[in-house]
């Protein structure tokens, strides 16, 4: 009887343990099925065959024969985390380390006569590009609240490294617009038939951050522990997928930027000027018949641009902004790139899903497209070409190489370079 009792007890314990293991395994499987982990990253090397001296534009004749210079960089290293809570609720985060992840760095400011300054790119050591909660009611109706990507322009809507051929992000949009543009706000988005659409209400840009060589590029940045939201902006985007292999997108932004500072001075410039920012963008991607072709055109307007130079925060030696140059009322960026997969014609490589795109790109852009108060910065008008390759040994990895050249106005020196990079993009769970 004792042996029978102990045998039954052992069987009961084993059965309980086995049941618990099954329950734990089921919970773990359910958790894993709802968890999303992924990311992307880039490592790049550049050899620039032009001067990096601060006076290369003010005294171009003095720097025609300056030595070349090289650099290694980690432009972006990103971690995605997301979770589906069920009943339509989910959350997502994107943590980005830019150029090694430092939030504070010394930079030589060309627009300040080559002065060395300690620039605060963000209020923390890393960029939290996305942090949102979402409620999904249907495929056509989703509400997202938190820190979100602003999908204005091709680069912001599709900024991962497998979505452009060049080693670095497309230069024109990357110059005049924030990249990647991310701000805190509310988004309504969805997809209906062949259309995807999104409307956002977000914190406004800060005109104290605008520059002559980057237009509104630094507009969302804040050296504070919070983003000032005295003013607000709206962003819209709509994409159409009616034609197989073709996506066409329209996007835009409108908001006020003057007075979006801390502290908010009721009698300051924001009470008189608005600094309206209006942007319109058209872009497309064609991916079929072994071709990938991408293009975009962006045009922007800034109201009260002539007043920005005289704003207190831009003149004060105690301010973290201190941008003394004029800012343009207009800016533009137009670009197109096309690549053909030559491995598609080789059966053995095509069977192994390897791809080799030979590509060409041309773009023209100018962050200072109007002479504010009669002041010109002619070196901001750039035409750029690039030719190179993208080799995909597997779908999630690309090795890139390119020769590129910036063509400036005749009084300046053109700027050729060679760039090599490797990047990955994918989801692990």
Per-residue confidence at 339, pLDDT binned at 50, 70, 90? very high
* pLDDT greater than 90 at residue 103: no
Residue 110 and residue 213: Cα distance in Å, rounded? 9
| Confidence tier at 252 by pLDDT (50, 70, 90) | very high
> Distances from the Cα of 27 to the Cαs of 23, 38, 44, 381, in angstroms?
6, 21, 42, 58
CATH number attached to the domain at 2-427: 2.40.160.10
**Residue 28's pLDDT is what?**
62
Residue 343 pLDDT greater than 70, yes or no: yes
CA gap 424, 101 in Å, rounded = 18
Q: Which residues contact 252 (CB under 8 A, 6 or more apart)?
A: 152, 235, 236, 237, 278, 279, 280, 281
Q: Looking at residue 269, what is its pLDDT?
A: 74
| Residue extents of the structural domains in the chain | 2-427
Determine the average pLDDT of the residues in 332-358.
96
110 has pLDDT over 50 = yes
Question: What is the C-alpha end-to-end distance of the chain, expressed in Å?
Answer: 52
Looking at residue 289, its pLDDT comes to: 97
Average pLDDT over residues 243-257: 97
Each residue of 76-100: pLDDT tens digit? 999 999 999 999 999 999 999 988 7
Residue-wise pLDDT tens digits, 302-313: 999 999 888 867
Grade residue 106 by pLDDT with cuts at 50, 70 and 90: low
Beta-bridge partner residues of 404: 386, 417
Sign of the four-CA dihedral 51, 55, 58, 62: negative
Q: What is the pLDDT of residue 124?
A: 43
Say which DSSP state 373 is in.
Answer: G
Quick check: 107 pLDDT over 90?
Answer: no
Name the residue with tokens 């994107």. 94
* Contact yes or no for 218/209 (Cβ under 8 A): yes
Residue 160's contacts (CB-CB under 8 Å, 6 or more residues apart) are 40, 425
For 365-394, what is the mean pLDDT?
95
Q: Strand, coil or helix: what is 56?
A: coil
Query: How many percent of the chain have pLDDT more than 90?
Result: 73
Q: In the predicted model, what is the mean pLDDT of the chain?
A: 89
pLDDT on residue 333:
98
| DSSP state string for 141-174 | EEEEEEEEE---SHHHHS-SGGG-SSSSSPHHHH
Higher per-residue pLDDT: 27 or 154: 154
Question: What integer pLDDT is reported at residue 300 of this predicted model?
Answer: 98
Tracing tokens 């979100």 back to the chain, one arrives at 148
For residue 216, give the nearest of 275, 267, 295, 289 by alpha carbon.
275
State yes or no: cis peptide before 263, omega within 30 of 0.
yes
When pLDDT is cut at 50, 70 and 90, the band that residue 318 belongs to is confident
Instruction: Find, among 73, 67, 65, the residue nearest to 48 by Cα.
Output: 67
pLDDT band at residue 224 using 50, 70 and 90 as cut-offs: confident
Report the pLDDT value the prediction gives residue 25, as an integer from 0 to 100. 66
Question: What's the confidence (pLDDT) of residue 19?
Answer: 58
* Res 275: pLDDT: 94
Query: What pLDDT score was predicted for residue 18?
Result: 61
112 pLDDT band (50/70/90 cuts)? low
Q: Name the 3-class secondary structure at 37.
A: strand
Please list, in sequence order, all residues whose beta carbon lies within 8 angstroms of the beta carbon of residue 241, skipping any fewer than 6 positions away. Answer: 194, 195, 196, 247
């Amino acid at each position: 009887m004792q042996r029978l009792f102990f045998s039954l007890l052992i069987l009961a314990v084993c059965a309980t343990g086995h049941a618990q293991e099954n329950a734990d395994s089921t919970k773990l499987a359910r958790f894993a099925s709802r968890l999303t982990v992924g990311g992307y990253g880039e490592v790049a090397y550049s050899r620039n065959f032009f001067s990096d001296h601060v006076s290369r534009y003010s005294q171009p004749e003095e720097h025609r024969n300056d030595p070349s210079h090289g650099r290694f960089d980690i432009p972006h290293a990103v971690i995605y985390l997301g979770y589906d809570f069920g009943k339509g609720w989910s959350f997502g985060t994107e943590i980005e380390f830019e150029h090694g992840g430092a939030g504070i760095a010394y930079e030589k400011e060309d627009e300040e006569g080559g002065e060395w300054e300690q620039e605060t790119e963000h209020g923390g050591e890393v960029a939290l590009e996305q942090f949102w909660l979402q409620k999904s009611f249907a495929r056509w109706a989703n509400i997202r609240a938190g820190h979100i990507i602003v999908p204005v322009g091709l680069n912001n809507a599709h900024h991962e490294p497998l979505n452009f051929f060049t080693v670095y992000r497309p230069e024109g949009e990357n110059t005049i617009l924030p990249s990647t543009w991310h701000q805190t706000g509310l988004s309504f988005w969805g997809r209906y038939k062949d259309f995807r659409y999104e409307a956002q209400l977000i914190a406004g840009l800060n005109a104290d951050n605008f520059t002559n060589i980057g237009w509104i590029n630094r507009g969302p940045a804040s050296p504070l522990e919070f983003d000032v939201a005295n003013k607000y902006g709206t962003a819209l985007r709509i994409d159409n997928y009616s034609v197989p292999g073709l996506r066409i997108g329209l996007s835009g932004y409108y908001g006020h930027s003057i007075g979006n500072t801390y502290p908010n001075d009721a009698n300051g410039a924001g009470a008189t000027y608005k600094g309206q920012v209006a942007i319109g963008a058209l872009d497309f991607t064609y991916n079929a018949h072994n071709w990938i072709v991408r293009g975009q055109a962006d045009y922007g307007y800034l109201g009260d641009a002539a007043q920005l130079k005289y704003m207190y925060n831009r003149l004060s030696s105690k301010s973290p902004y201190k941008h003394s140059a004029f800012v343009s009322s207009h800016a533009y960026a137009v670009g197109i790139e096309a690549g053909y997969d030559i491995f598609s014609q080789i059966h053995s490589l095509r069977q192994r899903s390897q791809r080799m795109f030979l590509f060409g790109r041309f773009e023209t852009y100018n962050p200072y497209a109007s002479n504010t108060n009669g002041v010109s910065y002619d070196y901001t008008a750039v035409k750029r070409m690039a030719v190179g390759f993208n080799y995909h040994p597997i779908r999630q990895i690309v090795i890139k190489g390119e020769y590129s050249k910036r063509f400036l106005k005749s009084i300046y020196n053109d700027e050729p370079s060679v760039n090599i990079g490797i990047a990955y993009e994918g989801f692990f769970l």
